[in-house]
Amino acid sequence: MVAIYRDPDIWNHKKAQKLVDDLVQLGLSEFLDLDDDRPSAFIVYRRQWQAAIFDRLSKAKFALGAMAFIESFSKGGWPKPGIAYTKSEHSRWIAANVDEDFRSPYEEVFAYLRRLRRAGAVYEVPVKQFVLGHDIQVRIDAAIQKRSFPER
């Protein structure tokens, strides 16, 4: 499982890369790991799955948890086969006893959502669900408005 996790074969997903580019243009690059080369539980670049999460949160009408993203990513085949359905307990055991960097797809997504919460981009509601913060939504809307109607 560690070998699968550490497999450096990562794919570029054009649609997800467009989300990355859009977030960078909106001035939200601080929420993405743009130059990250750490191992991942996903076959796409970290910045791309992070951008997909951020985009979906910005469009969501209700709170979302890590499993909602994992289910969506699984439909696209993004989690690496062989570790896609690793239970959190097993993932934590591997991290504690074999490879401290190892994370299941769920653990990676949940850690990213917690990171967004610490940064003030999202807030957490009961049952480990997350909603994009009002200030970030206003920032996104203002950047989109400015991009759509540039000042003369």
Q: Is 106 exposed, middle or buried (0-12, 13-18, 19+ CB in 10 A)?
A: buried
pLDDT band at 140; cut points 50, 70, 90 = confident
Give the residue from 6, 47, 3, 5 showing the smallest Cα distance to 23: 47
Dist. CA 133–CA 140, nearest whole Å: 11
pTM confidence score: 0.91
Query: What confidence score (pLDDT) does residue 150 get?
Result: 60
CA distances from 143 to 25, 132, 149 (A): 8, 16, 10
Higher model confidence: residue 152 or residue 85?
Answer: 85
Share of the chain above pLDDT 90, in %: 80
Count CB neighbours of 96 within 10 A: 10
Name the band, by pLDDT with cuts 50, 70 and 90, for residue 149. low
Average pLDDT in the chain: 92
Assess contact for 38 and 46: CB atoms under 8 A: yes
Q: Which CATH architecture has domain 2-148?
A: Orthogonal Bundle (1.10)
Cβ(39)–Cβ(5) under 8 Å?
yes
Q: Spell out the domain ranges in the chain.
A: 2-148
Which band of pLDDT confidence, cut at 50, 70 and 90, is reported for residue 112? very high
Element (H, E) at 115: helix 105-118
Its sign, for the CA torsion 25, 26, 27, 30, is negative
Quick one: average pLDDT of 20-34? Answer: 93
pLDDT-derived band at 96 (thresholds 50, 70, 90) equals: very high
